Amino acid sequence: MWYWLFKYVLLGPLLWLMGRPKFEGGENIPVDGPAILASNHKAVLDSFYLPLLVPRRITFLAKSEYFTGAGLKGAFQRWFFSSAGQVPIDRTGADAAQDAINAGVRVLSQGKLLGIYPEGTRSPDGRLYKGKTGMARLALETGVKVIPVAMIGTEKMNPIGSKMWKPAKVTVRIGEPIDFSRFEGMGGNRFVERTVTDEVMYALMQLSGQEYVDIYAASLKDKKPIASKTDPDPVVADPATAPESAADTDRLPDTQAG
């Protein structure tokens, strides 16, 4: 109930007024059944405008810290994310990656739309960065199609570090679903997972018009050395933050934005 109240009554009218959003390619969203919505990520508002314009309900995997905070702020966050139907995942521990995969599989097995940001965090400069392979793992394990989504203009309305929104034209552009059934039975193969991920990122680049950068956005935010292409992918457990433990992994599905 709260999801639809936020969308149509409590928050939606303000978003429509400030962003004057344009929705393109809506016919590419299936009327029912599971799908992965893989979006570029420019601003926190991406997680507001995508659900606002897509007719069907979208579920994101949200970091568990949103559900465990203390005090008034913690209680509000817990209520907000729970009411919006978001699924908490624990980003710590040796099983963090598999637990997140399992959570994503559960959402898709229920015939829902799962929202994912393959870059793993917001773009620090508006460019499109290398995608993480957690999305590919989910697509290969479940066999569902991946639908690329380009968010355009949200970074102007909600720049990184800003506390206030300002009016700006927002466009949500939905690309054609990508079918990876040709890789059936090849889940777990790192080369296949990277191929799937890069194909989605190329589609996002075409849709959004962004310049592509073949490094992880988190490596810039973290100011840590960038791994070479022959190294294992840099670890990151939560898309909203820098790497925090050796248990974190690139193979973790990307959660709700940070």
**pTM of full prediction above 0.85:** no
Structural domains of the chain, ranges and CATH numbers in brackets: 2-222 (3.40.1130.10)
Per-residue pLDDT band for 92 (boundaries 50, 70, 90) equals low
CA nearest neighbour of 108 among 135, 83, 144, 136: 144
pLDDT, position 247: 30
Chain-centre distance for alpha carbon 1: 23
Average pLDDT of the residues in 123-141: 95
With H, G, I as helix, E, B as strand and everything else as coil, classify residue 86. coil
Question: pLDDT of 94-105, one tens digit each?
Answer: 566 777 888 899
Question: Residue type at 165?
Answer: W
Average pLDDT of the residues in 113-124: 92
Average pLDDT of the residues in 52-69: 81
pLDDT, position 239: 32
Per-residue pLDDT band for 218 (boundaries 50, 70, 90) equals confident
pLDDT, position 112: 96
Q: At what angle do helices 96-109 and 134-142 cross, to 10 degrees?
A: 40
Sort 32 into a burial class: Cβ within 10 Å, 0-12 / 13-18 / 19+: exposed
For the chain, how long is the longest CA-to-CA vector? Answer: 50
Question: pLDDT of 147-184, one tens digit each?
Answer: 999 999 999 998 888 878 899 999 999 999 999 999 99
Is the pLDDT at 224 greater than 50? The verdict is no
CA nearest neighbour of 21 among 174, 201, 159: 174
Per-residue pLDDT band for 187 (boundaries 50, 70, 90) equals confident
pLDDT, position 119: 93
Helical ranges in the chain per DSSP H: 2-5, 12-19, 46-53, 71-83, 96-109, 134-142, 154-157, 190-208, 217-222
